[in-house]
Structure formats: structure tokens, C-alpha cells
Amino acid sequence: DVKVTQSSRYLVKRTGEKVFLECVQDMDHENMFWYRQDPGLGLRLIYFSYDVKMKEKGDIPEGYSVSREKKERFSLILESASTNQTSMYLCASGGLGSTDTQYFGPGTRLTVL
């Protein structure tokens, strides 16, 4: 069974803290994605990576950075967490094409106080 795992299901942080969200996939996919999901706003792409050390900004990259040092691992970093970054964060891996599937992790619900 294909698997995307995320380091935490729930996380509570304070404003100004640096936050690391880790994602690991076991499908040998070139592409990995970070989305956030908010009620009424749907799913929004933060960043994606198409190869090790390669990244592209998504729709809402401000306040976030990413790191892809190994093919199977994609990290999302909140340099200085703010309350408006309280959200569900979803990692995915998969293809870019119109017939390709993206496989999602279980999500990390982050609360910034």
C-alpha cells in the first residue's frame, strides 16, 4: 500500500516559534506538495518540489519555506509562526499530469497561539 506519512497529527505552537513539518513518502515519487486546508477556502498549494533540492512556489508561499534534501522527504518550515497560520497542513506526492494521482498524508492540524 502506498504511503505518505506526516510527523505529527496535532501540533500547538506559540507565535514567533519556528515550526518544522515533516513528510515522508515511500513511492519513489519525483514530486511532492504542501497544501493547507481551511474551511471555506478549500485546498491551497503552498509549495511543491519536482526533484531533490528543487522547489516551486505555489499560490500562498508567504511565511513558509521548504526543504527537500532527500527524494522521500519534504519539509515545510514556518520561520516565525503567526496565528493566521493555524490550519490543517497536508502533504502529498504524485504526478503532475492530468491523469496522475496525488497521494495525501493524514494531515497535521497546527494551532498557533
Partner 1 sequence: DAKTTQPNSMESNEEEPVHLPCNHSTISGTDYIHWYRQLPSQGPEYVIHGLTSNVNNRMASLAIAEDRKSSTLILHRATLRDAAVYYCILRGGSNYKLTFGKGTLLTVNP
Which residue ranges make up the site for partner 1 (CB under 8 A)?
4, 31, 33, 35, 37, 40, 42-43, 45, 48, 58-59, 90-92, 96-107
Query: Least distance (Å) from partner 1 to the CB of residue 27?
Result: 13
How near is the Cβ of 53 to partner 1 at its closest, in Å? 18
C-alpha–C-alpha distance, residues 26 and 28, integer Å? 6
**Closest by CA position to 91, among listed 39, 51, 38, 37:** 37
CA distances (Å), origin 46, targets 1, 30, 35, 62, 85: 26, 17, 5, 8, 12
CB nearer partner 1, residue 35 or residue 74: 35
Q: How far is the CB of 16 from partner 1 (least distance, A)?
A: 28
**DSSP label at 84?**
G
Pick 81 or 105: Cβ nearer partner 1: 105
- Least distance to partner 1, CB of residue 24, Å: 14
Residues 6+ apart with CB under 8 A from 2: 25, 26, 27, 103
Identify which of residues 53 and 97 has a Cβ nearer to partner 1 in the complex: 97
